[in-house]
Amino acid sequence: MRNAVFLVATRNDDYLDELHQEAWLKNLPVFIYIIVIATMGMLGNTLTLFVYAIKKKKSATTVFIEALAIVDLISDVVFIPVILCVLWHGFKVNSVYLCKFFYFLNYSTATTSVVLLVAISYVRFKKVCHSFGHHISTRESKLLCVAIVFACFFLCTPHVIIQGRQTMNTTRSAVKGYMCRVDDKYVDTHWPLVLHVVFTSLFLVCSSCLTYMYARIGIFAWRHGSLYGARIGLSDTQTNDDEASLELHPSPDKTELTRNATLYLQVTPEDSGIDTKTLEQDNAIRLDKSDSNCNVYTVNRKKGKFRIADSVGSRQRHNGRTTRMLLVLTSIYILTNLTSLVLLLLRTIKPKEVANLGTTGVSIYNVFVASYLINTAVNPIIYSVWNRTFRLHCRQLLGLNKSRLS
């Protein structure tokens, strides 16, 4: 009798191992994907924190970006290894506490990130659209970061209760598997769906706020773009080395610059006098503004063409690049998280259909569910593409640039 029981138990264990191997094959692509993301994220977010830590003057945006990098680094160092552990055990997860910790970290870090993105967009919105109103100070931004972290972590505590270890039935009634899903106590209740709807609604509200504020920023920049910088007109035929003429049209007034071989002439809108300055070195000259209605321009001449920069226009271009950088970052966050939420909602509503997708189908499904994890690694890449100062500091930290940090 004992031998028969032992034989049945052995066969059941072998069958469970087969199911585990099948689940492992389905999770292998996402396992590799997560390892790559974690490696990129740890390196990129560590570099981001070093780059922003050396900045002498920090703005509210900088503080929020640092906080976002810290949250992403926590995800890479703590949360992603927990994911890998859960995937490794597959169909044989024994610890209910591991599952609860997994879901709590998952939702708390994701919620904190999206609220920080809302805070960043609000700072940009106030700076661009309401530049003369009250702005969040550096000290206030630090306090807000702490408050956001505590609030988001507290908001995610229901996941510790509802999520856990779920018993998975097999074709053999005597064989049971265990995976990190909704806890067995709440499988047949409405609470999992309620919790999912609440967090999906929170995500949609935050996404709506982000969309609204960046849309307002874009509309404001489009309407008022002519107020900043100069509109430049330079005839293609006037590019020889001896003579060229250049006309600037800064709003609201007009300044005309005419250059001969050795002389700049500045004609101001409200002054009939002419201010002349001689070109002395580096084939460049700075023209000082002669009244309060004119901006300061730097005019450079290289290979028969003019390059122009003015103090106001340069600052506006910098602000525009920063806004575009944050817009790209936010767009990627919304798209990836929305994809994950929709797929998880689909599994909550129709679990059998998802389970019957087959090995390839489930593998693809799991990769797309984990697409939100790319946000823990992609931010430093976005900074390096859109932020010239970030690129410069990265090169200096990596020893690729010998100039001093500033």
Q: Which whole number is the average pLDDT over 222-226?
A: 63
Q: Show the CA angle centred on residue 88, arms to residues 85 and 91, nearest 5°.
A: 115
pLDDT digits 0-9 by tens, 240-298: 444 334 444 444 443 434 443 333 444 444 444 444 444 444 444 444 444 444 444 44
Number of residues in the chain: 406
The answer for 229, left when phi > 0, alpha when psi is -120 to 50, beta otherwise, is: left
CA distance 7 to 88: 27
Average pLDDT over residues 176-184: 84
Predicted local distance difference test score (pLDDT) of residue 142: 93
Q: What does pLDDT average to over the chain?
A: 74
pLDDT digits over 112-151, tens only? Answer: 999 999 999 899 888 888 777 778 888 999 999 999 999 9
The model's pTM = 0.70
Q: How far apart are CA 400 and CA 278, in angstroms?
A: 38
Q: How confident is the model at residue 11, as a pLDDT?
A: 67
CA angle 147, 148, 150 (to 5 degrees): 65
What pLDDT was estimated at residue 334?
87
Give the pLDDT score at 115: 94
What confidence tens digit (pLDDT) does each residue in 337-384 have? 888 888 888 887 877 787 778 778 888 888 898 888 898 888 888 888
Mind listing the pLDDT tens digit for each residue in 4-38? 444 445 666 677 778 778 778 888 889 899 999 99
